Amino acid sequence: MRQISPTELRSSLEAADSKPLLLDVREPQEYAYCRIEGSLHIPMNEVPARLGELDPNREIVVICHHGLRSANIAGYLLRQAFQNVANLSGGIDAWAAQVDPTMPRY
């Protein structure tokens, strides 16, 4: 599974004509507390039932708090024939530390 660092993701979001889908799989209270703007929120346990909302041909970067839950979901998507999936290394916590220091951390 491909890992993407927070700084690599920032560069991708700034430069890409076709931006990746940011799939945030944290719980609702976590997502309400902080998030990367424009991300799609589907809690981890709802992903299998909502798979139809995701385009298997689009680049997807999966996000959670520290990168463990998102790695599980990224692996699941790859097993479901999604081709271009990456895990945000270090999760939203690393994003806040490396890219957006104004973002609340927990």
14 burial type by CB count under 10 A (0-12 exposed, 13-18 middle, 19+ buried):
exposed
Residues whose CB is less than 8 angstroms from the CB of residue 54 and which lie 6 or more positions away in sequence, other chains included: 21, 23, 60, 77, 82
Active site residues: 64
- Residue 40: in which H helix or E strand, if any? strand 40-41
